[in-house]
Structure 1
């Protein structure tokens, strides 16, 4: 039935909605915090203090171009938001939902490097329970987290939806797809996306069970914005078939980037990664 063995079905129906194999593959893995937010005397503004584990690669000048603040989610968690001003004449701001085992401190150098190369500013946030954000990570919380980040980006900086690119990487594609299915934006980038938790844990699954976590595959047909899908063909965490199927289900996809030989964590090291992003943002979106 549906590609699952009898033993797997017994496992699922004896202990839903959290089958052990899903939990093992998709457990949130917040790292040890790599940054602190230091408030001013009035307690109204914050500066970013990075620890050595953040591996900051730039100067104090670039660090001064990063603004950090807290915002509150509908689940009453206080999450950290980061706005990296990477360029003076950016048309687009990327709302970046990062991967599983990193926080904003570890991502800050990457954001500066990426934004300066593709001429975009980058806005990001730490999920509940990550970095200096309060609460605990969960599926419901990451949807509330990106909603709060979206509202903060829109109201605090006055950026219009058509000038926002949603970028999700790995587990970050889950809240990105959820938001993109509800709002039309400038574009969406899905980097190593997963179809759903069940399909990740049980690759032969071809339907969405009622207890299936992260059912992104059922949401992507509702995305009305242009979508670029990126995936490594040798991804050992989220199989390449997930990216391929997500690509096939999105109504407005552009030419995808399948990085031959790349795994889950090294796609950015291949030259075609930056070339494809530049082409998409500077050329393809310019004619839309």
Structure 2
């Protein structure tokens, strides 16, 4: 277009240079005006003095003073840094990063790697798209302000083992009631932020709540690749235990949608936690990814997911021995393979895989697995008319893992 309009001639280039110089002067003048305004703003000068004071002395009083302000998270002081010495040795290993030798085994592996590390991970986690965070900036600021001003929340910056910084929010209810002595750690969905997410549910119920943003979401750095997700939730757990002072058996893990991956990884590595709640969570990412992509790309999709983004929630969940509550939404359009078809909801598969591991004899007898799937695939009105043996799974946090009732 520039060539057709003659901008690649000597006269055209001169016009582009003039335009660039004019734009640079305008931007520079804007920065100068902003700097002048801030230097004469009493509130901003107090904030700047507090920030400078924090660099020289990192005491508790100075930290409390600076946390009265909301500013660029990159300048936020680090409140907790992951310490490998505090971690138990008997843990499930992180997903190993693929070496270049494995990467070049086939052209498809290279294509899959490029796909995931360019647009693929952003399709899986839209919240990591910077444009989305920018557009939601005002709403996120308002949500964060409400959590701090209304709910007495405190913002923390955590440093993970791989050098990422996580934006977190903690609301302490331990002095309010006995239920506040239990901490609920909330992990949001693929486009969710703690500023406007599932924190409100346990908060209104009276629990202490710790929310965090995935790597690459809002103020958090990095990108939500599986290993960074694991390092992120690991740091959050260590922060809750070592810094906030909650014992693992007083922690409930609450994950929504794709947040179930990090939640179940934490449950697998911290099996002593009090309970796990999974809301609208799937069993495996691959069956959901294939129908949403062109059929011709299915081999690339399979290879990309399995090699670099294998979010196998069920495989992790079966390692957790404690109480679990699964929430399935009847009108969920995201984790259903077919819209409005309950039988294709991947939450059904998550439940079946869990019961298959915990109660293998039960799932074999009387063809219970098929009966359960038929029951789950029926609507509420259809379920009430069933004449075959139905299975009702009811969580019981106080006694057993599940109450299995035949109706």
Report the TM range for the smaller structure's normalisation.
0.5 to 0.7
For residue 230 of structure 1, the aligned residue among 312, 327, 349 is 327
Give me the whole-angstrom Cα distance separating, in 2, the residues matched to 1:59 and 1:137. Answer: 26
Could you tell me which residue of structure 1 aligns to residue 213 of structure 2?
Answer: 126
Could you tell me which residue of structure 2 aligns to residue 136 of structure 1?
Answer: 223
For residue 133 of structure 2, the aligned residue among 22, 32, 51 is 32
SS of the residue 1:69 aligns to: strand
Greater relative contact order structure (CA < 8 Å, 6+ sep): 1
Counting helix residues as a fraction of each chain, which structure ranks higher? 2
Alignment partner of 1:177 is 2:261: no
TM-score by length of 2: 0.50
Matches within 5 A, 1:76-225: 76-86=163-173, 88-89=176-177, 90-107=180-197, 111=199, 113-184=200-271, 185-202=273-290, 209-210=306-307, 213-225=310-322
Give me the whole-angstrom Cα distance separating, in 2, the residues matched to 1:55 and 1:159. Answer: 23
* Superposed displacement of residue 27, structure 1: 3.8
Could you tell me which residue of structure 1 aligns to residue 159 of structure 2?
Answer: 72
Q: What do the CA deviations read for 1:59-79 (whole angstroms, capped 9, x no partner)?
A: 9342xx101111111110111
Number of residue-to-residue matches in the alignment: 236
Runs of 4+ in 1 over 4 A off after TM superposition: 12-15, 17-25, 33-36, 55-59, 203-206, 208-212
**Bigger-Rg structure (1/2):** 2
Give me the whole-angstrom Cα distance separating, in 2, the residues matched to 1:172 and 1:86. Answer: 24
Tell me which moved more, 233-242 or 173-182: 233-242
* Superposed displacement of residue 154, structure 1: 0.5
Asked whether the 8 Å contact 2:157–2:166 carries over to 1, the reply is yes
Give me the whole-angstrom Cα distance separating, in 2, the residues matched to 1:59 and 1:127. Answer: 20
* Superposed displacement of residue 231, structure 1: 1.6
Give me the whole-angstrom Cα distance separating, in 1, the residues matched to 2:156 and 2:358. Answer: 34
Counting strand residues as a fraction of each chain, which structure ranks higher? 1
Alignment root-mean-square deviation, CA:
3.8
Alignment partner of 1:242 is 2:242: no
The runs of 5 or more residues in structure 2 that have no matched partner are 1-107, 292-297, 337-343, 360-375, 380-393, 401-407
Give me the whole-angstrom Cα distance separating, in 2, the residues matched to 1:162 and 1:123. Answer: 15
The runs of 5 or more residues in structure 1 that have no matched partner are 1-11, 37-48, 262-278
TM-score by length of 1: 0.68
Give me the whole-angstrom Cα distance separating, in 2, the residues matched to 1:93 and 1:103. Answer: 18
Give me the whole-angstrom Cα distance separating, in 2, the residues matched to 1:252 and 1:120. Answer: 29
